[in-house]
């Protein structure tokens, strides 16, 4: 639902008081075009805001949403590929989607809540100013009880202390404890996920009763419905710190922003940082790199999602910076240079007290082994390694394109059309 917030406040059906329904992907399997949490709004007249799959299931979702608005009840629809029926509604990519559809009455509390959050910036846009993006989360109850809670500080949210969450799920201690155990990791990680909570003993339709006979009579008629929550959390964009105001830094800057990072360019030399080609960075800093990292860490402005790319290729900057950066649990630390430069850096870092375990996290030479040469190609190589790293839990590289840190031999192979060359010379760059 958070993906629709930037547009919802100006979407005519929502602001004009029409009956609407929100369809949200709450479960995925296999190859799917959009992740959990992606939503689409449908008005009572069939107007649409957003998309779930790029077209292959939208028609069926609209029909289900219109039906949900007519009967007033939420529903869960499943879509997958059917090899038996070529005309069945499904995903041609072979994946599976579970889509929850919730009617929202005209002027309902939930619709007002959603439209009130329309000031949230769209962090999927490459051009967003990540430094000004807002941390926010939404906890929606998807079962028959309904309701929603907005969380404005997901990282510091404590479920056991939240009166709003207690109202949403019931204030039974066991329910709140179970909610805290599952909800807080999603909120603090900036992720989306489905949470199912068993109703406490004696719970009837979301309410707790101490009347044993009433509870037994109700249990005979129907089993209590599980409490189902859907959590969406959005944190401020992760940071990319680029050290080195040079051609490679200029090429990596927009590439990092394209991936959604808040990009800071830092160099100790004012004559370099003041160049107009770096004006597009979210922040440009003139300071000694290691001193800047220490100050940002002390101010708690870097975290385990932060990416550090060292492109200065100068030991007086690189070694103190890497020694400092490798002390912290950062998502990625990479350094540009030849294999000879890498060996010299490793020796200097070990002498400075950096542990072998910390050095194992250093991506040096930086980037995937794509045969990159130009600054633009090197930027692709670096961002490709960052994507692989964050998507593989720290095991970057693929059989076709391993990390340069895990390969051997020349960094820049000879072009296939060129005459054979002596390949043992150390290259000056990555």
306 Cβ neighbours under 8 A, 6+ residues apart: 238, 239, 240, 241, 328, 330, 331
Angle at 237 between CA 291 and CA 140, to 5 degrees: 140
Tell me the per-residue pLDDT of 153-172, one tens digit each, with 9 for 90 and over. 898 899 999 999 999 998 88
Residues 366, 334: Cα–Cα separation, whole Å: 5
Tell me the per-residue pLDDT of 144-155, one tens digit each, with 9 for 90 and over. 888 899 998 898
Portions of the chain given CATH number 3.40.50.720: 239-406
Instruction: Count CB neighbours of 171 within 10 A.
Output: 12
> Would you state the pLDDT for residue 86?
38
Model confidence at 92, in pLDDT bands (50, 70, 90)?
low
pTM: 0.65
> Would you state the pLDDT for residue 47?
92
Confidence check: pLDDT of 383 > 90? yes
> Would you state the pLDDT for residue 78?
87
Find where tokens 């992606």 sit: 38
Model confidence at 411, in pLDDT bands (50, 70, 90)?
low
Model confidence at 10, in pLDDT bands (50, 70, 90)?
confident
> Would you state the pLDDT for residue 213?
40
Tokens of 153: 């500080």
Residues 25, 232: Cα–Cα separation, whole Å: 11
Percent of the chain with pLDDT over 70: 76
Residues 105, 7: Cα–Cα separation, whole Å: 19
Model confidence at 428, in pLDDT bands (50, 70, 90)?
very low
206 Cβ neighbours under 8 A, 6+ residues apart: 143, 144, 145, 170, 199, 225, 227
Question: Mean of the per-residue pLDDT values for the chain?
Answer: 81
Confidence check: pLDDT of 255 > 70? yes
Give Cα 384 distance to the centre of its chain: 16
Q: At what angle do helices 289-298 and 315-325 cross, to 10 degrees?
A: 20
> Would you state the pLDDT for residue 117?
66
CATH topology of domain 239-406: Rossmann fold (3.40.50)
Model confidence at 199, in pLDDT bands (50, 70, 90)?
confident
State mean pLDDT over 370-393.
Answer: 90
């Amino acid at each position: 639902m958070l993906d629709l917030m930037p547009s919802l406040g100006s979407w005519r059906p929502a602001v004009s008081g029409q009956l609407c329904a929100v369809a949200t992907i709450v479960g995925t399997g296999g190859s799917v075009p959009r992740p959990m949490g992606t939503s689409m709004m449908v008005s009572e007249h069939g107007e649409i805001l957003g998309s779930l799959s790029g077209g292959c299931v939208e028609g069926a979702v609209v029909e289900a949403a219109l039906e949900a608005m007519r009967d007033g009840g939420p529903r869960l629809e499943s879509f997958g590929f059917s090899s038996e029926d070529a005309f069945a509604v499904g995903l041609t990519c072979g994946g599976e989607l579970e889509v929850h559809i919730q009617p929202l009455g005209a002027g309902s509390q939930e619709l007002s809540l959603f439209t009130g959050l329309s000031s949230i910036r769209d962090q999927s846009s490459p051009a967003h100013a990540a430094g000004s993006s807002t941390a926010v989360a939404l906890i929606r109850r998807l079962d028959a009880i309904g309701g929603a809670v907005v969380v404005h500080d997901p990282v510091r949210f404590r479920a056991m202390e939240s009166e709003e969450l207690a109202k949403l799920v019931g204030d039974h201690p066991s329910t709140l404890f179970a909610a805290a155990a599952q909800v807080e990791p999603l909120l603090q990680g900036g992720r989306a996920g489905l949470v199912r909570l068993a109703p406490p003993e004696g719970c009837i339709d979301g309410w707790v009763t101490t009347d044993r006979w009433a509870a037994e009579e109700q249990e005979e008629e129907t089993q209590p419905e599980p409490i189902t929550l859907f959590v969406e959390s959005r944190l401020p964009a992760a940071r990319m710190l680029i050290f080195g105001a040079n051609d490679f830094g200029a090429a990596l800057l927009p590439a990092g922003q394209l991936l959604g990072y808040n990009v800071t360019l830092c160099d100790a030399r004012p004559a370099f940082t003041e160049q107009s080609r770096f004006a597009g960075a979210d922040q440009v800093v003139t300071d000694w790199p290691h001193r800047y990292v220490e100050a940002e860490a002390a101010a708690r402005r870097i975290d385990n999602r932060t990416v550090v790319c060292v492109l200065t290729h100068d030991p007086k900057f690189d070694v103190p910076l890497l020694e400092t950066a490798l002390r912290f649990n950062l998502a990625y630390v990479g350094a540009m240079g030849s294999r000879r430069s890498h060996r010299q850096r490793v020796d200097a870092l070990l002498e400075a007290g950096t542990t072998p375990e910390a050095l194992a996290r250093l991506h040096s030479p930086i980037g995937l082994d794509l045969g990159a040469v130009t600054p633009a190609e090197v930027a692709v190589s670096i961002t490709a390694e960052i994507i692989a790293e964050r998507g593989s839990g720290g095991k970057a590289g693929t059989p076709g394109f391993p990390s340069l840190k895990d390969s051997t031999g020349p960094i820049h192979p000879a072009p296939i059309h060129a005459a054979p060359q002596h390949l043992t010379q150390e290259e000056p760059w990555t």
